[in-house]
Structure 1
Amino acid sequence: MQRFVCLLLFGLIVATRSIEAAPPEPLRVMSFNIRYGTAKDGPNHWDLRKDFVVETIKAFKPDLLGTQETLGFQKDFLAEKLPEYTAIGVGRDDGGDKGEMMAIYIRKERLDVVASGHFWLSETPDVVGSQSWDSSLPRMVTWADLQDRQAADRPQIRWFNTHFDHRGIEARKQAGRLLRERLAGTTGKALIVTGDFNSLETSEAYRNLFGTIDGHASPVLDVFKSLPKEKQPTGDTATFSNFRGGGPRKGGRIDWIGVNDRFRVVSAEIDYTERDGRTPSDHFPITTILEWRTPGAAEKE
């Protein structure tokens, strides 16, 4: 009997250690411009597609969901339909409820929010509602520091979610520089950036964020460029759908996700979900699945 009890206890200890040593599950990240809900979009109006948006999100089951063009009532609708997420977002016009939000959603059972905040893409980023250069509207970033509950031995994640100006070329260029500076100034953390950048891979805005400048590599890599060549979308593959289904089309990627070398990119995809020839928004959502690198692995590769 005593031998049986000892063996049972030993088995429990081994099982417990195995559970403790289990690697964290991959992180699932989605960036989704959901199109502002007061637009006069006729058959694609928000009220006619909002449930489709939620279903598209649930189908991917992101741990992190970064949205763009999200008005307050849209943020609240998604928060109601996605109660398993913590929602964070403020209006770009007043830092309250006025204007589009870069609302982010964090799966509660996977990640704890340590801190969060916002800054504006301007020469005075800490001034609420500020705009500079040739920006047509205030543009902003919402960020959060997160601790992965499955990865206590990994660093905190700092996540930035943004939307660059749709008209101002100089504004997009400078926004790329400002965001890069904020990323570079974040030390010791895993980095994720999501957003609608209204810029192609050939743009200076893209180079300012992801390119090498004065011999210095960017703090983050475009997840699509981290894939093997044969799995990368062509340079002219669009992420703007204009509500039309039909799969891949030309037009170029203007929605991007970037990460630093704390992660290994398992997959990066454009989500071509459609129904009756229509997509849930005028942008295709983009997704990536990330694995934590073991401590020190990035330095060895």
Structure 2
Amino acid sequence: MTLNLRFGLADDGPNKWQSRQKIFPALLAKYHTDFIGFQEANSFQIDYLADILTAYNFIGRRNPAPPFWQNNIIFYKKDWTCVYKEHFYLSPTPTVPSRPLKSLWPRQCTIGMFEKKHRRLICANTHFDFDASVQIESAKLIMKRLSYLPSDVPAILIGDFNAAPLSPGHKIFTGKNQNSADTKTYFQSIFQEPFPGTHHGFTGEANGDQIDWILYRGTLDIKDCKIDRDTIEDVYPSDHFPLYALFKWSN
């Protein structure tokens, strides 16, 4: 599952984080997913989620961090072991806090490799900036960092990409801009055209493209996927809809 939490310090009136957090136990209980990726997570939001997700550990938090800092967090069930993790910036200097000149914010990516019962899975969670040229370089960087990990381990890539499927960044992940017939290292989307919108601004009505994605590659088959457009107690969990996917091992 992936969800942009909406920046917890935003002045959202009746939709502020303090009004929304009460519904998260019910939301998260609906799915029982092994992995949950959150974007725009402030430290106090992470603390709250960690308190209610007692069956999970997490990676991706910068600690200590400025109060306004936004993290890309991966919660994972405790029956999985995190055998590798990294956090980097989507910039020319990924190992230090930084951003490209055309990027409004220091965007980041969190990658983990997890193991359970001799199975391994890579999960990456990111949040792209708005400029198309920055998105292209960000996608290239993530693919490069993923290439350092074992190629035979299936991977899931989630996040808020601030762009529609079939955008230049999306094509880098899915190999659509390649001439090679070998697509084994590329990702595919859980959804097909027409792609459903995922941002709604607390209205419940999608107001644009599918900017939140779940992509996957390797020995995984998609069994189910959905966008959760429901309210709980007449409250939306965020200004984005949560995305959910269920996979099975294909071998």
Q: Secondary structure of 1:69's match? A: strand
Within a 5 Å distance, the mapping from 1:1-301 to structure 2 comes to 30-91=1-62, 96-98=64-66, 99-109=69-79, 111-127=80-96, 129-149=97-117, 152=118, 154=119, 156-165=120-129, 167-186=130-149, 187-216=151-180, 217=183, 219-225=185-191, 232=192, 234-235=194-195, 237-245=196-204, 249=206, 251-275=208-232, 278-294=235-251
Normalising by structure 1, we get a TM-score of 0.76
Please report the RMSD computed on the Cα atoms of aligned residues, expressed in angstroms. Answer: 1.9
Q: CA deviation at 1:180?
A: 2.0
- 1:76 counterpart SS class: helix
Structure 1 position 104, deviation (Å): 1.2
| CA distance, structure 2, for counterparts of residue 73 and residue 174 of structure 1 | 31
Give the Å deviation of 1:276: 5.7
Q: CA deviation at 1:200?
A: 0.6
Are the equivalent residues in 1 in contact too, given 2:184–2:218 (CA < 8 A)?
no
Indicate how the Cα distance of structure 1 residues 169 and 192 shifts in structure 2: closer, same or farther if over 3 A, else same: same
Q: What amino acid maps onto 1:38 in structure 2?
A: L
**Structure 1 residues 133 and 188: CA distance shift in structure 2, 3 A:** farther
More strand by share: 2
The offset of 1:233, in angstroms, is: 5.8
Structure 1: gaps spanning 5 or more residues: 1-29, 226-231, 295-301
Q: Which residue of 2 aligns with 1:4?
A: none
Percent identical residues:
30
Amino acid at match of 2:81: D
With over 3 angstroms needed to count, the CA separation of the structure-2 counterparts of 1:257 and 1:218, relative to structure 1, is farther
CA 1:158/1:275 → structure 2, altered by over 3 Å: closer, same or farther?
closer
Q: Tell me, yes or no, if the aligned pair for 1:145 and 1:158 is still in contact at 8 Å.
A: yes
Q: Are 1:180 and 1:219, in contact at CA under 8 Å, matched by a contact in 2?
A: no
Deviations 1:94-128 (A, max 9, x none): x632210001100113x11112120111111122x
Q: Distance in 2 between matches of 1:107 and 1:148?
A: 10
SS for the counterpart of 1:103 is strand
* Matched letter for residue 115 of structure 1: Y
Could you list the per-position Cα deviations for residues 82-103 of structure 1 after superposition, in whole angstroms to 9, with x for gaps in the alignment? 1110022224xxx632210001
Q: What does the per-residue CA deviation read over 1:11-69, in whole Å, with 9 as the maximum and x for residues that have no partner? A: xxxxxxxxxxxxxxxxxxx0111111110000001000102133212211111000000
Q: Please report how far the alpha carbon of residue 250 of structure 1 lies from its aligned counterpart in structure 2 after TM superposition.
A: 5.4
Q: CA deviation at 1:207?
A: 1.2
Q: How many residues align?
A: 246
Higher helix share: 1
Higher relative CO (Cα under 8 Å, sequence separation at least 6) belongs to 2
Q: 2-side partners of 1:215 and 1:182: how far apart? A: 22
